[in-house]
Amino acid sequence: MGEFFADRRIVVTGGAGFLGSFILEKLRARGCGAILVPTVEEYDLVKAADIERMYDDMRPDVVIHLAAVVGGIGANREHPGKFFYENLMMGVQLIDQGRLRAIEKFVAIGTVCAYPKFTPVPFKEDDIWNGYPEETNAPYGLAKKMLLVQSQAYRREYGFNSIFVLPVNLYGPKDNFDPASSHVIPALIKKCVDAVDSGADYIECWGTGSASREFVYVEDAAEGILLATEHYNSPEAVNIGSGFEITIKDLVKSIAKFTGFAGEIRWDSSKPNGQPRRCLDVSRARSEFGFEAKTDFDEGLKATIKWYRENRNAV
């Protein structure tokens, strides 16, 4: 397993981020001798000149493109233009320069937000074009989905080996707990822990709680991405998930239980629920490169809560 990574220069965009930190840890464990992380301070990957300079400086064999402008429903509603433009320009130009420089492989990381709003459950990769994404995050989802189009087009015309890996919602230690941009699990953990500490007798949650979501523990997602990097060389998108679905209402109950919050949960139905359901068919990843998520959801939640409690003054 380690030989593939030991002999190659691997650039990980977004390597300083949440998922990136776990990718780097697993690359080191695989014996990768040349892990290269373009930092935002040194390279603005929205700009073509910075992308070209990054390729000149780092000379990668493989690029794993994790860098993205992301956030929860609120952030997507507030910044649809920014989320569309910056995600599209980063990905499209990174792939094109990778092709021009004949790198060995490009790994584009997509998003479950690319799926249509009303996709049959579980989401199969072949259903990705059967409708428009959920409106609140459609600009982000479509920007990411264009990398699948580009990867397939470049494979057909140029023989360029670019793959599109599509992880479901991530969670785990080191997640983003900023209320302005966090996703649902860290946002709820922060609300519950803060309420316990302040003695608040209620928390407010968006929507009705009826929507369902699938979550994959960040360490499992990192493993799936690296297995795909080594073994998957096909034009079709491939899902990375846990195969486990939970309603937001039940998710809140679990987080309240594990944080010790015993107060009232108030639902603000004037706020959007987001996509009605999300649950991926993960059979392609299992059959193509043997990926299966290992982390029990409750244990993953407990580990995430523990990390937040120990590190919240620093995040």
Contacts of 80 (CB under 8 A, 6+ apart): 138, 139, 140
- Secondary element (H or E) of residue 213: strand 212-217
Q: Report whether 107 contacts 232 (CB < 8 A).
A: no
Interior CA angle at 210 toward 193 and 214, to 5°? 70
List residues with catalytic annotation.
Answer: 140
266: number of Cβ within 10 Å:
9
Contacts of 172 (CB under 8 A, 6+ apart): 18, 22, 217, 218, 219, 300, 303, 304, 307
Maximum alpha-carbon separation in the chain: 61
